[in-house]
Amino acid sequence: MDTLEIAVTAVQQHNAQTSREAEVVKETDRLLRLNLFPYERVWVDVRFDLAMTEHSSSKINAMLVSGEVHGIAEIRYQSLFLWHDFKTFFDEVIAHELAHVIVDVRNAEKGLPSSKNHDEEWAEVVMEINPDCDALAKVRGEFDDRPIKIHKGGIGCECECGDEDAFVVFPNTPSSLMKLRNEDLTCPACKSAYVKVDREQWPREITEAVDFYRCLMESKIYHLPLSR
């Protein structure tokens, strides 16, 4: 599956391969233009990155040339979440991340470092982009990061809640293994201690979600960073 051809102006490079990813690239492009982003001087690279656990992240590499900002803005989106809750992703995650990018470029114009804070200035930009969304440090959507955590070697565990949410994934670290053994990791809802579950006993929804994630991983095209 190749990277899709999309008619965009502000976004210079992307690795969109599905129509959902293409919609996100188009919306990112539209919002950047609407907010008068200096795309002639700051190249925008949008990537769908399946390895990240957050919903999105960004990095600005900029410098001032005769008082104007020049550089590269790299925006990353976790595309697995586009399959879990596309609406929240489209409405809120894009606004969340673009607000960081816009604030960072403003900072660079003033010679200030990138902030990445979820402060008042950032929240104002989020509300300008989408007045209907809550400016939160982490967007609340129906995003399930368990397949990603399992892929990274996490330990599948269960409490006594008995539903699909009873299955949680802890990082495979000495400290969480110790806590599991001592029954120190307890479910906030049913108060029972989490117990490790063998792969064969995992709920079917989880195994299917992991398989789906691995399929996406195998078909994803990555590309080298932009350089100019």
* Contact set with Zn ion (CB under 5 A): 159, 161, 187, 189-190
Report the distance separating Cα 38 and Cα 135, nearest Å: 24
Q: Which is nearer to Zn ion, 6 or 193 (CB)?
A: 193
9: left (phi over 0), alpha (psi -120 to 50) or beta: alpha
Q: From the CB of 75, what's the least distance to Zn ion, in Å?
A: 12
CA within 13 Å, CB half, 74: 12
* Terminal Cα distance for the chain, rounded: 27
Q: Which is nearer to Zn ion, 8 or 46 (CB)?
A: 46
Q: Which is nearer to Zn ion, 190 or 221 (CB)?
A: 190
Q: From the CB of 99, what's the least distance to Zn ion, in Å?
A: 8
Q: From the CB of 92, what's the least distance to Zn ion, in Å?
A: 11
Q: Which is nearer to Zn ion, 161 or 177 (CB)?
A: 161
Report the distance separating Cα 6 and Cα 26, nearest Å: 8
Q: From the CB of 64, what's the least distance to Zn ion, in Å?
A: 24
By the 8 A CB rule, do 60 and 43 touch? no
